[in-house]
């Protein structure tokens, strides 16, 4: 039986990466910058 988490870097980047964050969903990057996050996205 396969384990539940099958890591796939390309899929993760497409979903949670910088350009995914930049595209839509109401300026997530700017909110995280304002909060002073060290890491903005995956």
Taking the model in full, what pTM does it have?
Answer: 0.62
The whole-number pLDDT of residue 3 equals: 95
**DSSP readout, 1-42?**
---S----HHHHHHHHSHHHHHHSTTTHHHHHHHHT-S----
The whole-number pLDDT of residue 8 equals: 94
Does residue 15 have a pLDDT over 80?
A: yes
What confidence category does residue 12 fall into, taking pLDDT thresholds of 50, 70 and 90? very high
32 neighbors 40 (Cβ within 8 angstroms): yes
Does residue 4 have a pLDDT over 90?
A: yes
């Amino acid at each position: 039986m396969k384990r539940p988490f099958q890591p796939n870097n390309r899929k993760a980047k497409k979903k949670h990466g910088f350009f995914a964050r930049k595209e839509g969903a109401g300026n997530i990057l700017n909110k995280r910058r304002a909060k002073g996050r060290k890491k903005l996205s995956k």
